[in-house]
Amino acid sequence: MTHTTDYALLNKQLHALLDTRDWLTNSAQLSAFIFEQIPDLNWVGLYLHREPETLCLGPFQGKPACHPIPFSKGVCGAAARSSQTQRVGDVHAVADHIACDADSRSELVIPIVADETLWGVLDLDSPKLERFSAADQAGLESLVALFTQRTELPRFIEAP
């Protein structure tokens, strides 16, 4: 079944929800909002670039997850290294996929960049194969762009 999520509506709702500039509050709201509004997800959350070449677990919804994740590993690591969204239709086809939850079958990871430095990534997991379409990727990237614009993102580490 094809999902048709109304991302324009979600953008309006998220804009109203992010009414502080605080990164922790807004990160928690972002993950809870996406988990509630977008069907067929088993995990949504942020990994933060708080240590060099390392992603540290941040606010999330779902089961307890892997921490830390080095830039060298997994789908999140690939997003962090490349600063490019990673859309994986079948995680079993990715040799170094990090399985935090055996139920996950597809994944979308969107980098969050501030001042030309990777600040973190938003990671979404689904128990369905091929859950994320190109339209979902564009829609979720627009929600991340809104989050970035509405939030004071602290510099966790010095730029290299």
Smallest separation, CB 119 to ligand SME (Å): 17
Contact segment (CB under 6 A) with ligand SME among 17-25, 95-103, 131-139, 141-149 equals 95-103
When asked if residue 113 is in the footprint of ligand SME (CB under 6 A), the reply is no
Task: Report the first-to-last Cα separation within the chain, whole angstroms.
Answer: 45
CA 149, CA 34: separation in Å to the nearest integer? Answer: 17
B/e letters for 36-64, b = 16+ CB within 10 Å, e = fewer, are: ebbeebbbbbbbbbbeeebbebbbbbbee
CA 131, CA 128: separation in Å to the nearest integer? Answer: 5
When asked if residue 136 is in the footprint of ligand SME (CB under 6 A), the reply is no
Contact segment (CB under 6 A) with ligand SME among 6-14, 74-82, 111-119, 151-159 equals 74-82
What are the φ and ψ backbone dihedral angles of 78, each rounded to 5 degrees? Answer: -65, -40
Q: Which is nearer to ligand SME, 102 or 159 (CB)?
A: 102
Q: Which is nearer to ligand SME, 125 or 136 (CB)?
A: 125
Smallest separation, CB 12 to ligand SME (Å): 28
Widest pairwise Cα distance in the chain? 45
CA 102, CA 139: separation in Å to the nearest integer? Answer: 26
Q: 43 and 67 in contact (C-beta within 8 Å)?
A: no
Map the footprint of ligand SME across residues 3-62, applying CB under 6 A: 43
Smallest separation, CB 24 to ligand SME (Å): 19
Q: Which is nearer to ligand SME, 6 or 36 (CB)?
A: 36
Q: Which residues bind ligand SME (CB under 6 A)?
A: 43, 65-66, 69, 74-77, 97-98, 100, 104, 107, 123, 125
